[in-house]
Amino acid sequence: MSWITTVLARRRMVISVVVLLSLAGALAWKNMIRQEDPAFPYRYGFVLVHFPGADVEQVEHLVTRPLEEEISEVEYVEEIEAIIRAGFVQLIVGRPSTTPTRPGTGSGWPWNAPAPASRKAWAPRSWTTA
């Protein structure tokens, strides 16, 4: 006897198990702990730039240095590491694990923190590829 015929023969039991598991899942979903701004333990971001046909020096002078200068102006950036190859650069941007937060938010993201008085507020940009 195959498992399909066994399932068809015990239709009520299968329906009962499905309903029981669905109810258990719905109750677990309803009682799940949620945070408005959940903690994000990973403190690094990656910037990948392709520059086809450029050698290492061109990538460094035309892409890497300007990007490093702009990113280093962000108050909450602690370290920047660049990996440069012909036609490609990867920047690894790190922020401190104790980034200050705006009171009451519990989030360590820079755009939730108060803006410094000397500069405009930093906000994430939307990037599109051509």
More confident residue, 55 or 105: 55
Confidence of residue 54 (pLDDT cuts 50, 70, 90): very high
pTM: 0.47
How confident is the model over 95-126, as pLDDT tens digits? 877 655 555 555 444 544 444 444 444 444 44
How confident is the model over 58-67, as pLDDT tens digits? 999 999 999 9
DSSP string for residues in the chain: --HHHHHHHTHHHHHHHHHHHHHHHHHHHHT----SS------EEEEEEE-TT--HHHHIIIIIHHHHHHHHTSTT--EEEEEEETTEEEEEEE--TT----TTT----GGGSPPPTTSPPP-PPP----
Q: What local confidence, expressed as pLDDT, does residue 98 receive?
A: 67
Cβ pair 121, 111 in contact under 8 A: yes
Cβ pair 87, 59 in contact under 8 A: yes
